[in-house]
């Protein structure tokens, strides 16, 4: 769409940028949900005191996913194995790491139906939070358009067209959130 002036263009660029960030945040949160599969992202952000500096596990070890329900962490400095194990325990991932002196293994159990239902509730909650965030972005964008309208630099008809464009963008993005939520629910409920 062609915009009449730079201010309107900036408003729409900000709108799209903020929506993308909201959806990306939701996707990241979804990737951290454990759906019966081991995902290296679950432990990547856990930090360990590595010679006085808090260091993420993925910067001091290889994290392999040899099987669907198994993570193997090969720490480069074997003297840090116990510290990595303690950091994983403290992070409350929900799986107890097994340290054999060479690598750390994390075996993820099959999810029972009750846990799957809890995860589905979490997915819905995260989806709803993303929608609320997108609606707040819509509100901010419409307020910015009202300010431009009050400055009388653009016609009211043009502002009306831009407001409708904002609503179209928001509707489309909320559909994207719903689609992503449904996909994640299906993934969790699939046994």
Q: What distance lies between CA 88 and its chain's CA centroid? A: 20
- Closest among 40, 81, 41, 75 to 60, alpha carbons compared: 75
Domain shared by 118 and 26, yes or no = yes
* Helix (H), strand (E) counts: the chain: 5, 6
Domain shared by 127 and 181, yes or no = yes
Rounded to whole angstroms, the Cα distance separating 17 from 21 reads 6
Domain shared by 160 and 95, yes or no = no
pLDDT computed for residue 152 by the predictor = 82
pLDDT computed for residue 91 by the predictor = 81
Helix/strand/coil for 52: coil
pLDDT computed for residue 34 by the predictor = 65
For the domain that residue 21 is a member of, what is the CATH number? Answer: 1.10.132.20
Last-in-domain residue among 51, 79, 107? 107
Domain shared by 139 and 51, yes or no = no
Domain shared by 181 and 116, yes or no = yes
Q: What does the radius of gyration of the chain's CA atoms come to, in whole angstroms?
A: 23
Phi, psi dihedrals of residue 112, rounded to the nearest 5°:
-90, 170
* Domain count across the chain: 2
Rounded to whole angstroms, the Cα distance separating 96 from 67 reads 17
pLDDT computed for residue 117 by the predictor = 85
In a domain, 1, yes or no: no
Last-in-domain residue among 107, 142, 160? 107
For the chain, 191 residues long, give each residue's pLDDT as a single digit of tens. Answer: 666 788 888 989 999 999 999 999 998 888 777 666 777 877 877 889 888 889 998 888 898 888 878 889 999 988 888 898 898 888 877 778 888 889 999 888 777 788 788 888 889 999 999 999 999 999 999 999 898 888 888 888 888 889 999 999 999 999 999 999 999 888 888 76
In a domain, 58, yes or no: yes
Range of the domain at 53: 41-107
Last-in-domain residue among 90, 107, 124? 107
Rounded to whole angstroms, the Cα distance separating 55 from 46 reads 8
Domain shared by 145 and 97, yes or no = no
Domain shared by 183 and 169, yes or no = yes
pLDDT computed for residue 176 by the predictor = 94
pLDDT computed for residue 16 by the predictor = 93
Give the pTM: 0.69
In a domain, 64, yes or no: yes
């Amino acid at each position: 769409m062609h915009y009449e002036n730079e201010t309107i263009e900036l408003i729409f660029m900000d709108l799209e940028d903020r929506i993308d960030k909201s959806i990306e945040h939701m996707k990241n949160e979804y990737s951290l949900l454990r759906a019966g599969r081991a995902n290296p992202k679950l432990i990547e952000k856990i930090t360990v005191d590595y010679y006085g500096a808090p260091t993420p596990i993925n910067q001091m070890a290889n994290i392999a996913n040899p099987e669907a329900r198994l993570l193997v962490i090969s720490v480069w400095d074997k003297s840090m194995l116990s510290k990595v194990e303690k950091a994983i325990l403290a992070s409350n991932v929900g799986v107890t790491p097994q340290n054999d002196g060479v690598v750390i293994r994390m075996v993820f159990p099959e999810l029972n139906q009750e846990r799957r239902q809890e995860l589905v509730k979490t997915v819905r909650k995260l989806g709803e939070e993303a929608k609320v965030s997108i609606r707040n972005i819509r509100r901010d964008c419409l307020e910015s358009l009202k300010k431009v309208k009050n400055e009388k630099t653009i016609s009211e008809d043009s502002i009306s067209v831009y407001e409708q464009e904002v609503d179209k963008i928001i509707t489309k993005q909320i559909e994207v959130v719903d689609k992503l939520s449904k996909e994640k629910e299906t993934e969790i409920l699939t046994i």
